[in-house]
Amino acid sequence: MFLTSCATQQHSSIEALRLPPRSTLACCWQSQESIQITITQNSAIKKIALLSALEVTPTQLTVVIFDPLGRRLASFAQDDAGLHTHSAPPEWDTRLAQQMLLAIYLHHIPSSAWNFQGSDWSITTTQRSRALLFRQQIQLQIDYADDSSKQDRRISYPGQPLVLDIRTLSRTAL
C-alpha cells in the first residue's frame, strides 16, 4: 500500500518537535482537499492521488485520508491528550501523521502562535512560502501557488523524497 511506503520514509529531527496545541487553530470548520503525493527513490518517481477531510472542533483536529474512490485509508486526530491514530494500514508509522499535522499547523496558524522559547526551532515566512526550521535548516516547507488564496500549495520535507501537492477543494464553517 502506498501510505505504508510514505510512512516508512527516512524521518528527520522534525519528529522531535511537539505539535502546537489544537486550540491554536481557529474553530470550527471542515475542509476537503486533494493531495498528489510524489516519492522519488533511486531515480524512480511514484505518484498517487488521494483525498482528505479535515475537521476542527472545540475538542479536536481530525484528519481522514481517502483513496480516489472514497475509501478510507487512514484517520487520526489530535486532542488535548495528544495524537491518536483511529485507523491505518498495519505498518503505519505515527511519525507520518505528526508530519502531516505539522504541515496543517504551519499552513493555518500565524508564526506568533508557535512557542519556540528555549529551542532551536524557528519559522520563516514570505508572501509565497512558509518554512519550519531547526538550527536554521529547513525541515518542512510550504510553497504557495501564484494566487493569493493559498488554496494550492506544495509541501516538502528537505532531505526526504516526499512531496505533497495540496489543493483545498472546499472549506465550510461548522
> Rounded distance, CA 153 to CA 174, Å?
24
pLDDT of residue 12: 54
DSSP codes, 28-70 = SEEEEEEEEEEEEETTEEEEEEEEEEEEE-SSEEEEEEE-TTS
C-alpha cell at 95: 511519525
pTM of the model: 0.86
pLDDT in tens, 77-129: 999 999 998 988 887 777 788 888 999 999 999 888 887 887 889 999 998 99
pLDDT computed for residue 9 by the predictor? 44
Is residue 35 predicted with pLDDT exceeding 90? yes
